[in-house]
Structure 1
Amino acid sequence: MSDLAAYLAAVVLVALAAWAIAIERPGARHPIRWAGLAFVLCEGCSMALLAPGTVALSDTGADGLSVIALGDTVRTAALSFLMLLACLVNPRPARRRSPAVQAVLAVWLQVAMVLLFIAARPTLQTDGTLTAGPAGRWPLAVRVALFAAYAIWSLIELFVAVLPQARLAATGPLRWGGRLVLAAVCVGVVWTLWSYDDIVHVLRYGSVDGSEDTVSNALGAVCATLVATGSLIGKWSVTFQAAARWLRLCRCYLVMGPLWSALRTAMPQIAFPEGGRPLLAGWPAGIEFALYRRVIEIHDGRLVLRAYHHPEVASWLEQAGPSEVDTPRGVVSRRADAKTIPADADADAALVEAATIAAALENMRRGRRFTATATAEATSRKASTVSVDVIPTDLDAEVQWLSRVAWAFRRSPMIPVLLERLRAEEG
């Protein structure tokens, strides 16, 4: 169980570092990101090296002491990168926390750890226990205490540096990511404090576990999970938002299809030449290109149809009274056989626009034009039914607006009724 926790945590951390390196743009320089990646990679490698299963390879002829020394060196380097990360994240680090000072301290710490290990002259027992040589208890105990103290210091500095970032993050996912990193720091503190009993054990019995025990590996696995989740939550949020936007644009593209097809069939001249970016290329850029081209063609068709607008469409819809209309989400429908629910301005305005386009297409097929005065009056009357709040102010709002119009153009039962009245009026 201890080996499983250690190796799983190592795989999670190394995979996180490999994924972050893979998506890094060539030539980009992000010291904070690279310091974090170095810490994650070193910590993952040290957990794999100090796992009981790895240390047990000494039974097969491997040098167990070298494996333990290498694991401790890599783990100490991970702490140095953690301290460097705290210095870089903190916008105004104190002089004692400057990156240059910490780099020098990291070198001296590595030298001290190696010298203390040599001075302790330990031997590795068959059960994985590291036993100090003659007069080696104090050097080994000082080595354990020095590492634990440096780990606690690094974690406290990182907590102090990340805490304001977690509070002031611009978006919810970034705030949650910072909180998870802070939780990982707290677990790391508990993980480090768990090793303080090793100091007493070394001084009393002259021995210490050469590998991490079950509790330490379990805490390491929890810490690795929190670090990975906190690091990825912001990226996952961006990915989910891009996926949600792509699905929304695809839905608008399909909803606008019937209206766009009707206008292109009646007026082939509004169609742009085929080609350009494929629909699924550069997700979501491909669907945006196709959708915005569809918006432009619909607007061109609406401009051509201005001479065929019937001046009485809006008044006919008012006279028709409430009716059940299928509308997309966010638009309130009205029922004639139940208590009337006031429709919102979007639904009314979209229905008027859809009915105007349908009547204009019918007039175009029959060759019926209207005078400029009648068309202007119809346009003014239609504009008076549209609230200022539903007038599109940007391209995305225009897409949503035309989607409502297209939905009403295809699904509203008022459109066939209006066209029948139009044909009856002509007859």
Structure 2
Amino acid sequence: MISYLSAALLALIGLTRLMTVRTGPKHLVTFFLSMAAALAISAEGTVRLLGDDLLPRLVTNALQLLAMRALVQLVRSTRSPEKPTAFWPIAVCWILMVLCYLDFAPHRLEAGTSGFQWRWSIVAYQVILTAYAVTCLVMFIRTLARSAAGRPRGTFRTGLRILVCAAVATIGWVLFSGLPSLWLEITDLADLDFLPRARLLGLCAMVLWVLGGLFTTWDGALRLARAWKGIRAVTPLWKELVAAQPQIALPLRHDLEFTLYRRVIEIRDGLLALRAHVPPHLGEWLRTPVDEPTRAAAELAAALVMREAGRSWPHRPHRDAHPGMREESAWLSAVSSAFKHSVVVREVRERAVAEVA
């Protein structure tokens, strides 16, 4: 059950990274999803269901090498210019591992004996797996440690340091679980005792990977949540302006943060285009003092009516935009809420319709 829960957490982090980083390389996504699939396949329940120990281990090891290659791609993508990662080394490793598997698979009934553990194909399989994984992890640790040292304090730097610890723990796990013939020879462990210990070390490493992934994706998840909240808040105002002025709509793009940015721009364009239609005597229609967002919403409601009637007043002053995207989004959210719910805005709209009539 722990293996399946860890696999689910890794898969969730990978999918979160995929949603957060819509464009650009997806190396961390590949890593987390590959490790999630490897954990799920190597779990005791899956092995019992398949009725075979060797084939799930081959598939698991192949996925683990894919995850290690994704780490190498990740560290190389930080270089300028980006240095591509050749695919042939992992392909050669996969081919050699399959050839070794074809040699020792027919002797699966001998598993656990000294002759099987020191069979040439078993030893070669273990050396190939361990050497490739450790090499990738060392490259990853060196680059990530330098990157974490240059980052400002925060959850992202903490996540990077946890990932470094996770990579170090993974090296220990790879050296232990990837060379069972060696450890069974120099220790008193039985074959049945070795796998649970190797799985426990792997789960400890996976916990560190999960923690590091959660810390590094925390900021991105918060940005997505804020963007979604901002989009929902400004959508009523945006729909009204786009319906009145379709030309302000920009090309679609499926990215939450960009969608919010685009809608703020479109709303600003619509408000600027309508400012000449705001009645100069609108202040007389406001029975009581109102806050700035409500007044802006009332001006918009009156301007839409006057624009439809063809009335305009030149040299209408306009409010400057806020310097930050978050501040501007919050302002327009308040205007949108007032435009949709305020009694004052409804009264101003009725006065504007009555004047036009």
Asked whether the two chains share a fold, i.e. TM above 0.5, the reply is yes
What amino acid does structure 1 have at the position aligned with 2:204? L
Cα 1:286–1:131 change in 2 (3 A) is same
Q: Does 1:66 align with 2:55?
A: yes
- Alpha-carbon distance in 1 for matches of 2:242, 2:101: 75
Aligned to 2:77: 88
- Alpha-carbon distance in 2 for matches of 1:90, 1:132: 48
Q: Does 1:107 align with 2:91?
A: yes
Q: Does 1:148 align with 2:133?
A: no
Cα 1:394–1:110 change in 2 (3 A) is same
Q: Which has the higher helix share?
A: 2
Aligned to 1:421: none
Aligned counterpart for 1:78 among listed residues 42, 56, 67: 67
Deviations 1:173-194 (A, max 9, x none): 6545544433432342343344
Q: Which aligned pairs between 1:11-26 and structure 2 lie closer than 5 A?
A: 11-18=8-15
What amino acid does structure 2 have at the position aligned with 1:5? I
- Alpha-carbon distance in 2 for matches of 1:72, 1:273: 54
- Alpha-carbon distance in 2 for matches of 1:89, 1:247: 35
Q: Does 1:236 align with 2:221?
A: yes
What amino acid does structure 2 have at the position aligned with 1:66? L
Q: CA deviation at 1:17?
A: 3.8
- Alpha-carbon distance in 2 for matches of 1:299, 1:395: 21
The TM-score normalised by the length of structure 2 is 0.58
- Alpha-carbon distance in 1 for matches of 2:201, 2:3: 9
- Alpha-carbon distance in 2 for matches of 1:298, 1:149: 68
- Alpha-carbon distance in 2 for matches of 1:306, 1:8: 61
Q: Does 1:10 align with 2:7?
A: yes
- Alpha-carbon distance in 2 for matches of 1:274, 1:246: 17
Aligned to 1:42: 34
- Aligned partners of 2:159 and 2:211 also within 8 Å: no
Q: Does 1:51 align with 2:43?
A: yes
Cα 1:79–1:243 change in 2 (3 A) is closer
- Aligned partners of 2:118 and 2:181 also within 8 Å: no
Cα 1:151–1:72 change in 2 (3 A) is same
Q: Does 1:195 align with 2:177?
A: yes
SS of 1:131's equivalent? coil
- Alpha-carbon distance in 2 for matches of 1:39, 1:45: 10
- Aligned partners of 1:17 and 1:37 also within 8 Å: yes
SS of 1:134's equivalent? helix
- Alpha-carbon distance in 2 for matches of 1:72, 1:12: 20
What amino acid does structure 1 have at the position aligned with 2:29? L
Aligned counterpart for 1:134 among listed residues 112, 115, 120: 115
- Alpha-carbon distance in 2 for matches of 1:300, 1:231: 48
Q: Does 1:185 align with 2:170?
A: no
Q: Which aligned pairs between 1:386-405 and structure 2 lie closer than 5 A?
A: 394-395=321-322
The Cα RMSD (Å) is 5.4
Deviations 1:87-122 (A, max 9, x none): 3334478xxx9623xx33222222333344455568
- Aligned partners of 1:184 and 1:223 also within 8 Å: yes
SS of 2:115's equivalent? coil
- Alpha-carbon distance in 2 for matches of 1:244, 1:170: 27
Bigger radius of gyration, 1 or 2?
Answer: 1
Unaligned ranges ≥5, structure 2: 247-258, 285-289, 296-318, 335-357
What amino acid does structure 2 have at the position aligned with 1:73? A
Q: CA deviation at 1:74?
A: 2.4
Q: Does 1:161 align with 2:88?
A: no
Question: How many residues are paired up?
Answer: 296
The TM-score normalised by the length of structure 1 is 0.50
Cα 1:80–1:178 change in 2 (3 A) is same
Q: CA deviation at 1:222?
A: 0.4
- Alpha-carbon distance in 2 for matches of 1:288, 1:98: 37
